[in-house]
Amino acid sequence: MKRLSYLSPKTEVRDSPIHGRGLFARALIKKDEVVTVKGGHIINREQLREIATQLGPVEIQIGDDLYIAPVTQEEREASMLYSNHSCDANLGVRGEITFIALRDIGAGEELTHDWCITDDDDSSTTCSCGSSNCRGTLTGKDWQRLELQKRYAGYFSAYLAEKITRMKQSRT
């Protein structure tokens, strides 16, 4: 099946020390260079819940009740970004579905994004990404944490960036 998501030709998918398969740089990727663009169907939370039982975690959240995801097993592979979570990520988001390099990334490095830049829900899950600053537990509200807002400033999904702006206003 034709790919639904875009993966830069400078990337490759292979086994990851973090989890399952991961996305890796095959060549130098410059800061702010586009690495992947998520493709799929626009669905809501209820639809996601149904899909997740079949396909596992395949979505990227793009709004309060909006996600982009494959909806069939056939589409799954074609939509996957293979970008694992890391608490010390090297990818950020431009807009809501375009993932770009947070910094210059050398060939061989695993390409990861921190779920806090895309997710907003009430979940919590364990993390064993192995980074030195691993949070151990990831929550769907991590985007609210000031230290993460600072670390990933300018690289949050657009709908979260708006929320962060409002939160900043209410802090003052």
Partner 1 sequence: MKANPDQPKTVQFDSTASHPKHGIAMIYDLEGFSRFFNQPDVQDYVPKFLNLVSEALSIVIYGGKAYWLPTGENLDPLKATPVHEKFLGDGAMYIWLETESEPLSTSFVTTLCNRLWNLKKFFPTLLKTAFDQLPVVDLPTRVRFGIARGTIYELSRKDSNASEYIGFCMNLASRLQKYCPALDFIASARIGLAQERLEKHGYLRVVATHIKGFPREIVIVDKAEWSALDPSARKERFEMI
Footprint of partner 1 (CB under 8 A) = 122, 124-127, 132-137, 139, 141, 144-147, 163, 166-167, 169-171
Dihedral angle, C-alpha 95, 122, 43, 78, nearest 10 °: 70
Q: Which is nearer to partner 1, 72 or 137 (CB)?
A: 137
Pair 137, 127: CB distance under 8 Å: yes
Q: Shortest Cβ distance from residue 37 to partner 1 (Å)? A: 30
Q: Shortest Cβ distance from residue 87 to partner 1 (Å)? A: 9
Q: Which is nearer to partner 1, 14 or 145 (CB)?
A: 145
Instruction: Encode 95-157 in three state secondary structure.
Output: CCCEEEECCCECCCCEEEECHHHCCCCCCEEECCCCCCCCCCEEECCHHHCHHHHHHCCCCCC
Q: Shortest Cβ distance from residue 113 to partner 1 (Å)? A: 19
Q: Which is nearer to partner 1, 31 or 168 (CB)?
A: 168
